[in-house]
Amino acid sequence: MPITNLKDLLLDAEAENKAVGAFSVGNMEMIIGAVKAARELDTPIILQIAEARLRTSPLEYMAPLMLAAAKESPVPIAVHLDHGLSENTVCKALDLGFTSVMLDKSLLPFEENVLATRRVVERASRYGAFVEAELGVVGGSEGGTVSHEISCTDPSLAARFCERTGIDALAVAIGNAHGNYPALPQLRFDILEKIGKSCSVPLVLHGGTGIAPEMFRRAISLGIRKINIATANFDCLARSAKAYAEKADKPDYFELSKAMVDGVYENVKKHITIFNNDWR
Q: Catalytic residues, which ones?
A: 82
Q: How far is the CB of 145 from ligand 13P (least distance, A)?
A: 12
Q: Residue 66, Cα to own-chain centre: how many angstroms?
A: 14
Site for ligand 13P in 161-180 (CB under 6 A): 178-179
Q: Please state the closest distance from residue 103 (CB atom) to ligand 13P, in A.
A: 13
Least Å from the CB of residue 246 to ligand 13P:
25
Check if the beta carbon of residue 151 is closer than 8 Å to that of residue 128.
Answer: no
Which residue, 29 or 142, is less far from ligand 13P as judged by CB? Answer: 142
- Shortest Cβ distance from residue 113 to ligand 13P (Å)? 17
**What binding mask, one character per residue, do residues 56-85 give for ligand 13P by CB under 6 A, x or -?**
--------------------------xx--
Q: How many residues of this chain interact with ligand 13P, rule: CB under 6 A?
A: 16
Helix axes 110-125, 155-165, angle to 10 degrees: 40
92 vs 271, beta carbon nearer ligand 13P: 271
In 3D space, the residue among 186, 81, 196, 88 whose CA is nearest the CA of residue 139 turns out to be 186
Q: Which is nearer to ligand 13P, 15 or 183 (CB)?
A: 183
Minimal distance in Å, beta carbon 99 to ligand 13P? Answer: 17
Those residues with Cβ within 8 angstroms of residue 152's Cβ, 6 or more apart along the chain or in another chain: 136, 173, 174, 175, 188, 191
H or E, element range at 260? helix 253-275
Closer to ligand 13P at the Cβ: 2 or 182?
A: 182
Reference 31, options 5, 67, 85; nearest CA is 67
User: How many other CB atoms sit within 10 Å of the CB of residue 55?
Assistant: 10
**Contact string 23-62 vs ligand 13P (x = CB under 6 A):** -x-------------------------x------------
Q: 83 or 105: whose CB is closer to ligand 13P?
A: 83
Site for ligand 13P in 137-156 (CB under 6 A): 142
Report the 10 Å Cβ neighbour count for 118: 17
CA atoms of 21 and 211, how far apart (whole Å): 13
Q: Looking at residues 191 to 250 of the shown chain, list those that interact with ligand 13P (rule: CB under 6 A).
A: 206-209, 228-232
Q: 269 near 37, Cβ under 8 Å?
A: yes
List the x/- string, 94-133, binding to ligand 13P by CB under 6 A: ----------------------------------------
Q: How far is CA 150 from CA 94, 112, 190, 226, 269, in A?
A: 29, 19, 16, 20, 29
Complex with ligand 13P: residue 234 or 244, whichever CB lies closer: 234
Q: At what angle do helices 28-41 and 253-275 cross, to 10 degrees?
A: 40
Residues of this chain that interact with ligand 13P (CB under 6 A) are 24, 50, 82-83, 142, 178-179, 206-209, 228-232
